[in-house]
Structure 1
Amino acid sequence: MTIVVAYSPDRYGRAALAHGAAQATLRGEDLLVVNDTRGDALVDDRFAHEDEIAQVRERLATLGLEAEVRQDVVRDVAEGVVRAAVERSASLVVVGVRHRSPVGKALLGSVAQRVILDAPCPVLAVKPDEDSDGV
């Protein structure tokens, strides 16, 4: 089975990666790191640069984990994460969650919320520790 991590190059994505890596180690499962973008902006700060992806691979390798990293341009990021979970028959999806204001909740969709509601398997929603920066 596979654990899917919804990754972004920030403290929320690193928290998701740390928890996903811990679960993959504990369960003896594969890890799929999904870092998708809609590709509708010149700069997407949630789409990791190749240097960041190299660091992710390196960190996971030091833990003895071989992980696939997927970076696709998709119509909808939440849909991309859910599709990856379906394709891999994932046992778990891990997402980082952030606080949103009531106005933010009303105006903007939350990738994490949609993954939680639409994933075909359990979803672990994590917040970053204040004193930690991930894996």
Structure 2
Amino acid sequence: MKVLLAADGSKFTKKALAFVVANESLLGDDGELIVLHVQTPLSPRVKTMVGAQAVADYHRDESEKVLAPIRKFLDRHGLRYRANWVVGPNASEIVRAAGKQKAQMIVMGTQGLGMLGRALLGSVAQRVVTESDIPVLLVK
């Protein structure tokens, strides 16, 4: 099974990652874990002020801060994976990447804010569940 793990670098991502490793049978013998980090776009004004290359470097550096420890962890556990990052709206990019990669499940950590918290702050996890056509496993 192909599983897409949405990674934001939070403690909730670490829990989701630990869950996948502890339950690697989810992937099966020929399965693959696709780790995706989504960077929120900077405003066009920032790009104008500092330049496109500086913005691209910023996104690359920030993504590596999230993905490097995940790569190290997965290498230690011998899991087959690919890690990538994109820039865009979080939920939409997660769902789009899952479709593009033909993933059969999305796994992501969640804070579990509850109804009031989601109403006030919004929830990437809630939007992914709503937009996705494939199963989404939320790890709290």
Query: TM-score category by the smaller chain?
Result: 0.7 to 0.9
Structure 2 gaps, min length 5: 47-60
CA offsets, 1:68-110, max 9 Å, x none?
A: 1111111x10011101110111111101111326553223321
**Corresponding residue pairs, total:** 123
Structure 2 distance, partners of 1:2, 1:21, is 14
Q: Identity over aligned residues, as a percent?
A: 33
- Match of residue 19 from structure 2: 19
**Which deviates more from structure 2 when the two are superposed, residues 18-27 or residues 55-64?**
18-27
Q: Within 5 A, what are the aligned runs for 1:14-93?
A: 14-26=14-26, 27-28=28-29, 29-40=31-42, 49-74=63-88, 76-93=89-106
Of Structure 1 and Structure 2, the greater helix share is in: 2
Q: Could you tell me which amino acid in structure 1 is paired with residue 74 of structure 2?
A: L
TM-score normalised to the size of structure 1?
0.77
SS in 1 for 2:87: coil
CA offsets, 1:32-84, max 9 Å, x none?
A: 11110122378xxxx9552442221111012111321111111x100111011
Structure 1 distance, partners of 2:134, 2:7, is 18
TM-score normalised to the size of structure 2?
0.74
Q: Is the 8 A contact 2:39 2:63 kept in 1?
A: no
Point out 4+ residue stretches in structure 1 off by more than 6 angstroms. Answer: none
Q: Is the 8 A contact 2:37 2:67 kept in 1?
A: no
Q: From 92, 98, 107, give the equivalent of 1:94.
A: 107
SS in 2 for 1:65: coil
TM-aligned CA deviation for residue 14 of structure 1: 0.9
Q: CA RMSD in A?
A: 2.5
Structure 2 distance, partners of 1:2, 1:124, is 13
- Match of residue 6 from structure 1: 6
